Structure 1
Amino acid sequence: MKVLTFGEILLRLASPGYSRLFQKECLETSFCGAEANVAVSLAVFGVNSAFLTRLPKNDVAISAVNSLRYFGVDTGKIVYGDGRMGLYYLEKGASQRPSKVIYDRAYSAISLSKSEDFDWDVVFKDIDWFHWTGIDPALSDDMVEICLEACKVAKSKGITISCDLNYRKNLWSSDKAKSIMPELMQFVDVCIANEEDADKTLGIAAKNSNEERGKLDKSDYISISNEICRKFGCEYVAITLRESFSASVNGWSGLLYNAKKEKVVFSPNYKIHLVDRVGGGDSFAAGLIYGLICGKDDQEVIDFAVASSCLKQTMEGDYNRATVQEIEQLICQGGNGRIQR
């Protein structure tokens, strides 16, 4: 089983520790990106994973590719062309001060992509699962068409398609997302979302929940999942449930809805003292994909996905370095934090 993820890899520039941006005379560098993060997590789990993007041919891009290769991600499908590396600045929040992300990704190489840059018959030659996110079509109008072409070819080849809705208000408006995402969703087998994603990209809103105020009504998310499956024909919908008590402490859980069985299962809820929450949703997506391709039952799938993303949020950087053994240990022991000797 081989999984291909498609999207943008970025250079991350983060203020050290919990300092404010440019409070200190240095920034910490690493590489990231929603779809790249998923590929790395899967590789760490032992899954044969590949990442596809379009990059400039320079030393920064080569370093980004090498960061993927370090974990065993197949980078042989990456294409190169004009443009630049996208990047983002991160200031990690603490207590009542929220984290802040500033994007600088205009005119990046992938946002300048054209349809002719990707031969999807060749790209999908050895692929069993294709994962993309709502960030991809938000990058440019050409990327909308590219995503549509990719989904059509993948579906024609019987490849399983997963999509994390991943709404980013700094990249496009909710109105534009709602005009584009429903057409793309017709090809998706596994939909991954949170409360805001479903509302801002598909117009399917939770009625009684408010993530920012730490108020979650589980019945809302069951109805959201059911409606997504009914409208778009998805086989599964997975939703992350985050309770934001502060920038330092979050409640974290999730659900998986199986459309065929018309059944929903919930994970345990973890109270996380956050180290770095960025990439938490991507590690959830990777854990979900891993569970499904391994043939786990629905409860095992959602438990693994949530535990995986719980551990990631205790680690610096966007990449999740938690192993299958560590995740299973968390599931079995509940995360008491006792030292391992």
Structure 2
Amino acid sequence: MAQVVTFGEIMLRLAPEGYLRFVQAENLGATFGGGEANVAVSLANFNIDAAFVTKLPKHEIGQAAVNSLRRYGVDTTLITRGGERVGIYYLEKGASQRPSKVIYDRAGSAIAKAAQEDFDWDQIFDGCRWFHFTGITPALGQNVADICLTACKKAKEKGITVSCDLNFRKNLWSSEQAGKTMGALMEYVDVCIANEEDADKVFGIKADGTDVDGGKLNHEGYKSVAKQLTDRFHLKAAAITLRTSHSANDNDWAAMLYDGTDYHFSKSYAVHIVDRVGGGDSFGAGLIYAMLQGYSSQDTIEFATAASCLKHSIETDFNHVTVAEVQALVSGGGSGRVQR
């Protein structure tokens, strides 16, 4: 029985070595990742019993995806096996003023063709305290959106806390489609995670006076976004990540948590990026962990932001850090000095 259940798609990640462009690469490194899978791995590394739920083919590539989770202690026993393919994404890492680029090849994946009968949510949620999904998953198709809705309803029926990272992806659906579908799902969500674009693209909620590209973040604007989300969907909490991008390699990273009463801002980190994919997922995992542990709102946002800060220094999707490492950064141990 898992404390936390996450539901979504895990994909095969194919990427050139280092900062090579796609057209330069003669070899592509193969790993696995995906929003909700990344959250499950982070939580397992924090010693939380976490299960990832999806549908994967029975062939060897599907098994390799399962194995990539099992090696970190994620419960994979609830994964449905079937379908024909594992979704793929190609990643070209950016540098300096050249942005990173992602190309998806996920149409017709096993999870995208999943059906309601593939998942027994009574069994999946046995002993569960927290359910997490992202806006990427319902964007895979109406059938998957319907599965998400069924899961959210069942979680609410069982008194399970539900969290959602809005994670808007314009290549998967339009803002109009996202707003309609996510609006229905958000009625069952307790904790919402968003960034500077998600609330705007999905629900038309903007942070006034903010120019992320120009390095200008208006705290009052983000307070308004969090309060509007909370009021509209009767949330228990809303978390907003605050990224200022100076270049593909260098960002400022911070976050805010609104707990329905007060606004709590984390410290800001100047991050030199090794790999930013999974940064938001590591934030979500840190938030879930801290809230499950009963941290104060301020300590929660500090832990989640620090966990995500560290992820930016780690190659591939998964965040390979411990609670002690996150707590050390929160306490001021961010010098990067060798630990002996």
Q: Please name the residue that 1:228 is paired with.
A: 229
1:89-135 per-position Cα deviation (integer Å, ceiling 9, x unaligned):
00000000000011110000000011111121121112111000101
Letter in 2 for 1:41: S
1:291-336 per-position Cα deviation (integer Å, ceiling 9, x unaligned):
0000010111000000000000001000000111111111112411
Per mean C-alpha deviation after superposition, the further-off stretch among 7-16 and 17-26 is 17-26
- 1:238 and 2:239 are equivalent in the alignment: yes
Determine the C-alpha separation between the residues in 2 that align with 1:192 and 1:284.
Answer: 9
Q: Please name the residue that 2:78 is paired with.
A: 77
Task: Tell me the CA shift for residue 26 of structure 1.
Answer: 0.1
Q: Please name the residue that 2:13 is paired with.
A: 12
Q: Please name the residue that 2:328 is paired with.
A: 329
Letter in 2 for 1:194: N
Contact 1:35-1:131 within 8 A present in 2 as well: yes
Determine the C-alpha separation between the residues in 1 that align with 2:66 and 2:127.
Answer: 20
Determine the C-alpha separation between the residues in 1 that align with 2:84 and 2:121.
Answer: 22
Q: Please name the residue that 1:211 is paired with.
A: 212
Contact 1:83-1:112 within 8 A present in 2 as well: no
Q: Please name the residue that 1:298 is paired with.
A: 297
Q: Please name the residue that 1:319 is paired with.
A: 318
Determine the C-alpha separation between the residues in 2 that align with 1:59 and 1:13.
Answer: 17
Q: Please name the residue that 2:286 is paired with.
A: 287
Letter in 1 for 2:67: N
Q: Please name the residue that 1:44 is paired with.
A: 45
Contact 1:3-1:127 within 8 A present in 2 as well: yes
Letter in 1 for 2:57: P
Contact 1:14-1:91 within 8 A present in 2 as well: yes
Task: Tell me the CA shift for residue 340 of structure 1.
Answer: 0.9
Contact 1:222-1:264 within 8 A present in 2 as well: yes
For residue 197 of structure 2, give the secondary structure of its aligned residue in structure 1. Answer: helix
Q: Please name the residue that 2:64 is paired with.
A: 63
Tell me how large the CA RMSD over aligned residues is. 0.9
Q: Please name the residue that 1:268 is paired with.
A: 267
Task: Tell me the CA shift for residue 195 of structure 1.
Answer: 1.4
- TM-score (normalizing by structure 2): 0.98
For residue 226 of structure 1, give the secondary structure of its aligned residue in structure 2. Answer: helix
Task: Tell me the CA shift for residue 157 of structure 1.
Answer: 0.4
Task: Tell me the CA shift for residue 84 of structure 1.
Answer: 0.8
Provide runs of 4+ in structure 1 moved above 6 Å: none
Determine the C-alpha separation between the residues in 1 that align with 2:213 and 2:55.
Answer: 35
Point out where structure 1 has 5 or more consecutive residues left out of the alignment.
none
Letter in 2 for 1:290: Y
Letter in 1 for 2:42: S
Determine the C-alpha separation between the residues in 2 that align with 1:196 and 1:237.
Answer: 15
Determine the C-alpha separation between the residues in 2 that align with 1:195 and 1:167.
Answer: 11
Point out where structure 2 has 5 or more consecutive residues left out of the alignment.
none
Determine the C-alpha separation between the residues in 2 that align with 1:316 and 1:116.
Answer: 36
Determine the C-alpha separation between the residues in 1 that align with 2:12 and 2:157.
Answer: 34
Task: Tell me the CA shift for residue 60 of structure 1.
Answer: 0.7
Letter in 2 for 1:116: E
Determine the C-alpha separation between the residues in 2 that align with 1:60 and 1:83.
Answer: 10
Determine the C-alpha separation between the residues in 2 that align with 1:119 and 1:46.
Answer: 25
Contact 1:135-1:168 within 8 A present in 2 as well: yes
Determine the C-alpha separation between the residues in 2 that align with 1:123 and 1:47.
Answer: 16
